[in-house]
Chains A and B, each alone.
Chain A
């Protein structure tokens, strides 16, 4: 991972590809060797069933992706339907991410500025992540249907975005708080000697210093936002995204087992795209990333 020379890098990529191939080989090998009914010890299934309904062949998954979603004449290929659902979930997750990042950032700045605010709020921020707001999704959905401010109409997808933002704000709040506190005492003394106030110290010193902490936080927040969006779609029953598709297709279950895998690969793709977008943001902040931490 820390290879500097180009040859080391190529090697790492090749080995990485090999790793994925190995994982696929393990899947097929297990299917080939293991009993169809799996292995049960004392009533608990320890090893999965290897039957074609439980574990379809990889090529069946690939083949199925190219076929139409369903039997209706207007059906698009499965891969297109998954991509469209993925784009929908991605948009909702992105909005949730944005809201979460802004909220997390503001919280971190307030906590950095006021020590009392910090000791009062931080334990609750940590506690908030043990609250399964995902579990509250059905209730959040309930709020939406009743809320109306003038001409503003609460849309169902907004509930999903709220849940995504709830999961996204935490790493940002904690990461940025650590980052804002990261400048060395000598630099803070320097700013003091210049006689500039808290705000300008924030702008000139603390924010640039927080970048190495910010980027891993943004990446975590993106991953959390995707998780939040997909799961909230399931629990609020929102149509159009991957979450709902995962549930619907898995109910098709035994008759069309390969189909259930398509939206899962879609979710993987959305997660990777989200991480990629954060990496692009990181490129624009390259000069501040002299020391990455996470």
Chain B
């Protein structure tokens, strides 16, 4: 926002510097106090493992990311569709309210074991479903709020113009709801990765980052476990950055986006 030089410098340089300092401090701690790898491995050891096992990490990340992606797609489509229905039909809105409220405060990953029972242990469906359910909640809540937030003056205008229901939806309601939808999507994107990953702890096929981390820990390869964690961070950031880009494109005409 601040276009000044010092402002921009601060915006980029400050977090980078802090990151460098923290990693250097971490490295120094491990070396100086001779910390054992099971406590925490040094950043250099993690990085060495990361580069060494890059293809394995990429494969595991890919498996988790695929589940997260499908979960994201299914969750977003269902959430937006249901929110559209709920915003136009009060019965649907009120009937969904307690279930959605409950879903927003409960640990959805806890459903993983029964979902494995329902969809089978040997397929990825249960993981996709966990991610989809986790994605559904924030996208639905935010989209519905956006669809219901129309400025009174814009509502009056649409009435003045004797606009049909669909015209009002297209010109006022949908563009107005867009920022709310993207807020939900931003939350959902990193949530989808974490949910798909955590679902791997509860069973299912032997692939993915969650599985790789546990098996690395159980074979005492701690630096490798951290390297997989780094892979998870990268996956999460990629998902998040992708939604930011989509948001920028979608809201290019919206002020204060």
A contact residues vs B (CB 8 Å cutoff): 1, 11-12, 15-20, 22-23, 38, 43-46, 48-49, 53-55, 115-116, 119-124, 127, 129-132, 134-136, 138-139, 142-143, 146, 219, 222-223, 226-227, 230-231, 234-235, 242-243, 246-247, 249-250, 253, 257, 260-261, 263-264, 267-268, 270-272, 274-275
Contact = CB atoms under 8 A, between A and B. Distances in A.
A12 B86 CA distance: 13
Contact of B95 (A19, A53, A222): A19
A136 B108 CA distance: 19
Contacts of B111: 264
Interface in B202-245: 202-203, 209-210, 213-214, 217-218, 222, 225-226, 228-229, 232-233, 236-237, 240
Contacts of B116: 250
A120 B20 CA distance: 11
Contacts of A130: 190, 193-194, 232-233, 236-237, 240
Given A120-B15, A135-B213, A231-B198, A253 B117 contact: yes
SS of B interface (majority): helix
Contacts of A231: 107, 109-110, 198, 201
A121 B101 CA distance: 32
B99 interface: yes
A122 to B, nearest CB: 8
B120 interface: yes
A142 B237 contact: no
Interface of B: 10-11, 14-15, 17-19, 36, 38-40, 91, 93-99, 101-102, 104-111, 113-120, 123-125, 190, 193-194, 197-198, 201-203, 209-210, 213-214, 217-218, 222, 225-226, 228-229, 232-233, 236-237, 240
